[in-house]
């Protein structure tokens, strides 16, 4: 929900990281608690560049599609 709320024109890594932090806070966790599973869904691996860069590179539509799959 946090990523969906970011307007398309503002879908940049500096807006994406706070969205992941907010999602983690909702579940009472920390950013790695949501970033690691998201990283696997988005890249197929546990190791990748910064999650904000990965998400920005994929774009909003592809990111949301993969996370909702």
CA distance 51 to 63: 11
Grouping H, G, I as helix, E, B as strand and the rest as coil, residue 5 is coil
What pLDDT digit, counting tens, does each position of 1-52 carry? Answer: 789 999 999 999 999 999 999 999 999 999 889 999 999 999 999 988 889 9
pTM check: above 0.85: no
* Burial class of 5 by CB neighbour count within 10 A (0 to 12, 13 to 18, 19+): exposed
CB count within 10 Å of CB 19 equals: 19
CA distance 31 to 24: 5
The pLDDT, as a whole number, for residue 8 is 92
């Amino acid at each position: 929900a946090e990523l969906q709320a970011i307007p398309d024109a503002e879908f940049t890594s500096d807006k994406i990281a706070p969205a992941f932090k907010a999602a983690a806070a909702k579940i009472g966790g920390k950013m790695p608690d949501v970033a690691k599973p998201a990283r696997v869904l988005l890249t197929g691996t546990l190791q990748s560049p910064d999650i904000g860069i990965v998400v920005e590179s994929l774009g909003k539509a592809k990111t949301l599609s993969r996370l909702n799959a």
